[in-house]
Amino acid sequence: MKILLGLVLKVKMNKTVVVHVKHFFKYLIYKKISYFFKKYYAHDDFNLCLKDDKVYMIECKPFSKIKFWKIIKII
């Protein structure tokens, strides 16, 4: 199971939030560390998340066609 830390971007949908996650990687030849951003749709059972909250989310069974993540903790 994967656990990711991200920032909530949108909370306009019912029981769904859009989370912005920053991924790091290192070039083997140049030894440079770079990053890229990815958006994930996550399930929020009780609509507790607000915009700009930091959240932990865990990979789980699909809730819909695009939702494979569930919010486990709001920081």
Mean pLDDT of 42-67: 97
pLDDT of residue 57: 98
pLDDT of residue 53: 97
Tokens representing residue 31 in the block: 């030894």
Question: Taking the chain, what is the end-to-end CA distance rounded to the nearest angstrom?
Answer: 20
| CATH class of the domain at 3-74 | mainly beta
Cβ-based burial of 29 (10 A; exposed 0-12, middle 13-18, buried ≥19): exposed
What confidence category does residue 66 fall into, taking pLDDT thresholds of 50, 70 and 90?
very high
Q: What is the pLDDT of residues 1-54, one digit of tens each?
A: 899 999 999 999 999 999 999 999 999 999 999 999 999 999 999 999 999 999
pLDDT of residue 71: 98
